[in-house]
Structure 1
Amino acid sequence: MNAPELRRASFRGVPFEVTSSDFKVGRRTQTFEYPQRDTPFTEDLGRSKRTITVTAYVIGADYITRMKRLIAACEKQGAGRLIHPWLGTMEVVAVDLTSPRFESNRLSTVTLSFVESGKLEFPNSIVDAGGRCLKAASALTNANFDEFIKKFDISGCQDFVKKTVGEDFAKLFSEDSLSRIYQAFDLADDLADLANDAITLVSGAPQSLGQRVLDTLGLQGFASTICAWSNVANRFSQLTKENSLNSSKPTAVASRTTSERIENADAAVQTLVRQAALSNAVLAASEVGSENDRVDASAVVQTAPYDDLIQVRDNILEAIDAEMFKTQNDSVFEALSQAHSAVYEAITQRAENQERLVTFTPSAVTPALVLAYDYYGDSTRELEIVGRNKIRHSGFVPAVPLKLLNE
């Protein structure tokens, strides 16, 4: 076996030789594991510090003097320049110096560990608008839960009343409008289980019912993951307008008649689900327009244009305004108000620097591939034109006004 070849390196101008190097890289993560859920969620917190470990050889008649200089360089305060034979030049801090040895044959060795020095950056004044949305969504969920346990009351009712409320509950959670949304998060089975347990749940304590519903419908465990969040926000905003969530209205005065108690119970459940949908829309707003706003990890990151982001924002705000008009609960109203402010700030902040849509009319029927190349100089944007304008066949883009990014 051939002897390892020595390579020149230096730190703060003090030369030494190395034969190999350990280079540690990776990402900082935090893994969350949730009760009753098989799949964990790992949050990416950014790149880890880079660590370089080398065994330095100092060879020659002056090996003792040079090793002392290398030790002094490593003990000096602050970052220094490391010239690495394979990684090139980088600013590092020496964090460890282990077992310096002085051999009798004009050889000295020492193990050195360095970490990249990075940059000292002070916090800026940009508000974490996405974080505000997450906080607002959580506050709205809590206020929604508190209102529900005050409003839902069928205690002491006859069994047929509980059965009627349970059947209404099951019908609500079997709606296609709900199941279609939650299929995207693999929660359709959880929704079906909730509907199947309807009569048992409504016969128990309101706290247990409310918690089970919010645990099933809430998307907090999916925050900061890759998903088509713009589409999610639009669908939850639209869901709040469904007749199935607005068919019952509570009576103005608490009543003990059977029909009114059923009506009040149905209205409480519908409000719980409607406001849960709003909480999810507010949560989705934290990622609308971000790099996580795409179908899956394999999809190319494409920033949505200003017009699309503003439309998503306005859809959410319209749904929040409608709920503020309906609620008579001060805590819920305050939570909705905070959510309104957070959504407006988060999406507007992301949208303001994005490109606008313009209207462009082709002179003749043109393939989308050709149109993308002629307009953008990039034929790979064919699918963007087809998708945004809902073209039936990419080979035949009609000569009608189209919405294209102004670039």
Structure 2
Amino acid sequence: MNWRDHLIEASFRGAKFKVLDASTEVGRRNVLHEYPFKDTPYVEDMGASADRFTINAHIVQSRDNDWDYFAERDALILALKTEGPGTLKHPFYGEVTVSVEGMVPITESFLEGGIARFAITFVQAGESIFPVPTVDSTRGMDTVAETAINQVGDSFVSRFTAKALSARTVVSDLGKTISMIKNTVLSVRGSMAATVSGTLATLNEMKSTITTIVNSPTSIATFINSSISSALSLIGDPIPVTGGSMGGWSGEYEGAVVSLPEDPVPLRLGESEVRAMVELSRFGESITVDDPSMYGGLLEDITVNSYNTAVEALNREVLVDMVRVLAIVNAVRVAVRVDYDSYDKAMEVMNLVVDRIDELLILIGDQSADETYADYDVYKRMDDSVYLSLVQLRVTFIRIMKQIGADLARVVEYRVPPAVIPSLVLAYERYNDISRDEDIVNRNTPAVNHPGFLPEGEAIEVLSE
């Protein structure tokens, strides 16, 4: 065996590159003390110096990348810019945990063409000896979510007017709420059939009690909270509640809340649940809307021409507000529990939820300034605390999702060589893990319709590490 047999393919965070030459610095952190009138100095050993690895790397067009080096270059640039230590596969020293030191010059020229040269300095990275604060993302998010639930519940109870003349509308609206929740439950993928069946049965049972609660704002608020919470039983465990406190208000309705799991929720199930909750937050759209939700929840407009119809319309708006806010709050609670497989997927879900929060903030802000019913001495009086709690929910959610995404691999483009290559081979060559072949296939369906034949010469998506 000669020295070439010991070499390994160079990469950083899974992004591969070629090495022209490399140098390494090792040593001790010695401090030299030279004293007046003393001929012999004293050397104080302060411990080992951090090893430094300087690598002159390059990525060049070749048959392996279909004579296009841009994707591999960009993958390495992304790896170098990613926060925190990463694994360097050094051709001479094997796997080392390192951090990038300083800036990395990248040279490309028309004279050479088809090659990018990198001058990279890595420094050895160890574990911190000091305590590192950790963030309990689920508990922190639940605390902020609970505040939003309390605020919207209190706002509902203070703004809703129980009147016999509007009872029929309330019964109809609550019935349509349950119907839309059932439709979103049926849209969730990855849940057990028995769990779905049990959730639908619970919702049907709740629907049968609607006529008994329409004269009590606290009971209606509790009913809405319980019905939306029941939809989360697809990923959590229902906990019966009788006449207790549901958020910041107290009700007599016998319902259920759901204890969400501490363990990560599988991606397919969790993402599907988040999307269902975001869709539910569209409840109450007018039947004249151009792009209605496929899950229902459309309501006929109420013609306001008297005090009673103004109260009826305001009750409708208050009810719709509560359904929408509770739905998006639960979307947030689920989103921070999902077991994401990549940074890109985590950011995709975050942006989906944040975009909807922004839309709700605009709607709530517009309602607060709306004096449509003032002629009938009926005022919307939207509580600022609901708006502010949603703002805080948004800020906290973005911060936690970015923390979750920071440790995840990125989705990068990989160009399949113009030859037959199975996903199993690519998984082994790229990750040294043949079990990753399923992820490669799933990530690129339908472009990849057989694991034994990746599309020759075409670009597919893979994880950076």
Contact 1:131-1:286 at 8 Å conserved across structures: no
d(CA) in 2 for partners of 1:190 and 1:225? 25
Residue of structure 2 equivalent to 1:270? 320
Helix, strand or coil at the partner of 2:462: strand
317, 322, 325: which one pairs with 2:362?
Answer: 325
d(CA) in 2 for partners of 1:270 and 1:191? 18
Residue of structure 2 equivalent to 1:4? none
Determine whether 1:256 maps to 2:294: no
TM-score (ref. length: structure 2) = 0.51
Residue of structure 2 equivalent to 1:227? 265
Q: Counterparts in 2 of 1:165-184, with a 5 A limit?
A: 165-175=170-180, 176-180=182-186, 184=191
Q: Counterparts in 2 of 1:117-128, with a 5 A limit?
A: 124-128=132-136
Question: What one-letter code is carried by the residue in structure 1 that aligns with 2:409?
Answer: E
TM-score (ref. length: structure 1) = 0.57
- The count of corresponding residues between Structure 1 and Structure 2 is 268
Describe the shift of the 1:281–1:224 C-alpha distance in structure 2 as closer, same or farther (beyond 3 A): same
Give identity over the alignment, percent.
25
Q: Give the C-alpha shift of residue 262 in structure 1.
A: 3.7
Determine whether 1:352 maps to 2:406: yes
Unaligned runs of 5+ in 2: 1-128, 233-257, 284-292, 369-382
Q: Counterparts in 2 of 1:33-112, with a 5 A limit?
A: none
Q: Give the C-alpha shift of residue 356 in structure 1.
A: 1.1
1:79-104 deviations in Å (ceiling 9; x for gaps)? xxxxxxxxxxxxxxxxxxxxxxxxxx
Question: What one-letter code is carried by the residue in structure 2 that aligns with 1:224?
Answer: E
d(CA) in 2 for partners of 1:168 and 1:125? 47
Higher relative CO (Cα under 8 Å, sequence separation at least 6) belongs to 2
Describe the shift of the 1:211–1:172 C-alpha distance in structure 2 as closer, same or farther (beyond 3 A): closer
Describe the shift of the 1:390–1:192 C-alpha distance in structure 2 as closer, same or farther (beyond 3 A): farther
Q: Give the C-alpha shift of residue 148 in structure 1.
A: 1.7
330, 338, 342: which one pairs with 1:280?
Answer: 330
Determine whether 1:145 maps to 2:153: yes
Residue of structure 1 equivalent to 2:224? 213
Q: Give the C-alpha shift of residue 210 in structure 1.
A: 0.9
Contact 1:372-1:378 at 8 Å conserved across structures: yes
Q: Give the C-alpha shift of residue 224 in structure 1.
A: 1.6
Describe the shift of the 1:280–1:155 C-alpha distance in structure 2 as closer, same or farther (beyond 3 A): same
Question: What one-letter code is carried by the residue in structure 1 that aligns with 2:139?
Answer: G
169, 188, 207: which one pairs with 1:195?
Answer: 207
Q: Please report the RMSD computed on the Cα atoms of aligned residues, expressed in angstroms.
A: 3.1
Unaligned runs of 5+ in 1: 1-120, 294-302
Q: Give the C-alpha shift of residue 349 in structure 1.
A: 0.9
Q: Give the C-alpha shift of residue 321 in structure 1.
A: 1.3
Determine whether 1:163 maps to 2:168: yes
Contact 1:136-1:282 at 8 Å conserved across structures: no
Q: Give the C-alpha shift of residue 272 in structure 1.
A: 1.7
Describe the shift of the 1:354–1:227 C-alpha distance in structure 2 as closer, same or farther (beyond 3 A): closer
Q: More deviation in 269-278 or 370-379?
A: 370-379
Helix, strand or coil at the partner of 2:333: helix
Question: What one-letter code is carried by the residue in structure 2 that aligns with 1:271?
Answer: D
Residue of structure 2 equivalent to 1:361? 415
1:166-206 deviations in Å (ceiling 9; x for gaps)? 1232123113533326794642222222223233332x301
Q: More deviation in 331-340 or 396-405?
A: 396-405
Residue of structure 1 equivalent to 2:459? 401
d(CA) in 2 for partners of 1:254 and 1:404? 60
Helix, strand or coil at the partner of 1:393: coil
Q: Give the C-alpha shift of residue 377 in structure 1.
A: 3.3
1:309-367 deviations in Å (ceiling 9; x for gaps)? 11111112112111111224311111111111111111111211322110123236754
d(CA) in 2 for partners of 1:201 and 1:308? 42
